[in-house]
Amino acid sequence: MTTIDLNAAAREILKANGRGGYTVPNGRVYPFQWNWDSAFVALGFDTFDRPRAWTEVETLFRAQWDDGFLPHIVFWKDDPGYFPGASVWATGKEPVTSGITQPPVAATVVRKLWKSAAEADEADHYRPRLEALFPKLFAWHRWFAAYRDPDRRGVVVATHPWETGRDNSPEWDVPSEVIDVSNVGDYVRRDTSHLDSKMRPTKLEYDRYLALVQFGRATGWDHARIAAENPFRVADVGMSMILLRANRDLAALAEELGRSEESEEIRGWIQLAERGIDWLWHDELSAWCSRDTLTGRFSGHITSASFLSFYAGLADAGRDAATRAHFDRIAGLVDYLMPSLDPADPGFQMIRYWRGPVWAVVNYMIGTGLAEADDRERAEKVRQDTLELMRRNGFYEAYSPVDGTGSGGDDFSWTAAIWLTWAKGI
Ligand code: GLC
């Protein structure tokens, strides 16, 4: 397909996956609104339908809880083809939502939407919408500070592998071993009836996911208790980098709106994170990786999230050089960057979900960070690899880094959105 055809196809996917005010990641496998998917989808809409881009984010925030929490799934309409659905989460909210969150990319996206509106001379028109969204974004980030970093380390402590957005990354294997699955009971998975089970997490992984959902539900989704007692509490390098970045963008928005008190509070979070994130640098590996807060153990795995330090705005000559060296080494091992797990890792599997495949959205963040750090060459390499995967195979959920085969669902919203955003340039 030519670029023109691909642009049209990508727009069609976003429209077809639209459900009036929000977009499902993929109608068959993921029939609800997902948190970080919607944020990336908004970037795609912004290339051809600005009002719709803002609506996508606004709809997501309509599901925000009073304490600032923003759920990872909003079950606007029931769909029996999905498990675990609304009744399993049982959060008792209206609209019904899940009880965990997802990587906070929304503030970064909203800043981008705002910039694009200003460049199109529409700042006056969008300022009220920005003013309405800002306190919601701020409340969510404050919730992160309170409940996902209870020890004030300056990192994000995920309480469920799904919260990280990198659901079955091997980073969660060892920390998950303590999860008691003896009371999970019987259940029927739906993901493996839509997709080849070779691509999906195993039964043991799934039991653990459900045990954590049951734990949260038993607390009545009490975020303070979950922060203090949840059996899984892992400082996720991906979310930590993403929140640091998002806080920088939120601070810029606060200043734009003349909110000096909020801006000062956000600056405090940024300073804490800039120091605290050191805890996630693994000296022996010379890489960024996640770390279990319960044992202090590093995951010891290099993943696509290890390359988000540039996106987070961190700069340290030694660590950056080491990160670039891993980037170049991995580029020599696969045809397409950036695999979700280092191909030299014994656990690498080219089509099993977050144990190998490439995700366009992660590439987008890696490439954006590298471009901002003035590493044009590597930024362009990630971007071109991403676009080439889509040109060859269409808009899949993920792709094999080895031969580019699409994996997971097809006609995937955030993949199409990244095409629209990136085909134009970084
Ligand atoms: C999978 C991914 C998660 C994503 C969701 C919808 O669960 O791991 O990151 O948000 O699918 O695309």
**DSSP labels for 237-252?**
HHHHHHHHHHHHHHHH
Give the three-state DSSP class for 404: coil
Tell how far the Cα of 407 is from the centroid of ligand 1, in angstroms: 13
Tokens found for residue 282: 């693994």
**Distance between Cα 167 and ligand 1 center (Å):** 7
Tell me what the mean pLDDT of segment 7-27 comes to.
97
Q: Is the dihedral of CA 63, 105, 266, 98 positive or negative?
A: positive
Q: Cα–Cα distance between 13 and 395 in angstroms, integer?
A: 9
What average pLDDT does the segment 236-249 reach?
99
Does residue 36 have its Cβ closer than 6 Å to ligand 1? yes
Instruction: Give the number of other Cβ atoms within 10 Å of residue 150's Cβ.
Output: 16
The string of DSSP letters for 46-113 reads HTT-HHHHHHHHHHHHTT--TTS---SEE-SS--TTSSS-HHHH----SS-B-SS-----HHHHHHHH
pLDDT digits (tens, 9 = 90+) for 166-204: 999 999 999 999 999 999 999 988 888 878 888 888 899
Report the amino acid identity of residue 235: A
Backbone CA torsion sign across 404, 407, 410, 411: negative
Say how many Å lie between the CA of residue 353 and the centre of ligand 1.
10
Q: Tokens in use for 383?
A: 């971007």
Instruction: Write down the pLDDT at residue 3.
Output: 78
Q: Is the pLDDT at 98 greater than 70, yes or no?
A: yes
Q: Which atom of ligand 1 is nearest to the CA of 412?
A: 12
Q: How far apart are CA 150 and CA 106, in angstroms?
A: 22
Q: Is 31 exposed, middle or buried (0-12, 13-18, 19+ CB in 10 A)?
A: buried
Q: Is the CB of 404 under 6 A from ligand 1?
A: no
CA distance 73 to 86: 9
Contact 367 CB / ligand 1 (< 6 Å): no
In this prediction, residues 268-272 reach a mean pLDDT of 98
Which pLDDT score is estimated for 85? 93
CA 305 to ligand 1 center in whole angstroms = 15
How confident is the model at residue 58, as a pLDDT? 99
Mind listing the pLDDT tens digit for each residue in 124-165? 999 999 999 999 999 999 999 999 999 999 999 999 999 999
Pairing of strands 398-399, 406-407: antiparallel
User: Which tens digits make up the pLDDT trace of 353-366?
Assistant: 999 999 999 999 99
Nearest CA to ligand 1 atom 6: 25
Catalytic residue among 58, 79, 122, 167: 167
Task: Give the pLDDT confidence of 287-321 residue by residue, as tens digits.
Answer: 999 999 999 999 999 999 999 999 999 999 999 99
Distance between Cα 36 and ligand 1 center (Å): 8
| Confidence category of residue 426, pLDDT binned at 50, 70, 90 | low
Q: Is the pLDDT of residue 345 over 70?
A: yes
Verify whether ligand 1 is closer than 6 Å to residue 54 (CB atom).
Answer: no
* Residue partners of 124: CB distance under 8 A and separation at least 6: none
Confidence at residue 273, expressed as pLDDT on a 0 to 100 scale = 98
Q: Strands, E, within 296-415: which ranges?
A: 398-399, 406-407
- Determine if ligand 1 sits within 6 Å of the CB of residue 353: no
With a 6 Å cutoff on the Cβ, whether 37 touches ligand 1 is yes
Mean pLDDT of 393-414: 96
Mean pLDDT, rounded, for 247-260: 98
Does residue 100 carry a pLDDT above 80?
Answer: yes
What residues contact residue 95 under an 8 Å CB cut-off, 6+ apart? 62, 63, 74, 75, 76
Catalytic residue among 163, 236, 265, 397: 397
Whether 167 is a known active-site residue: answer: yes
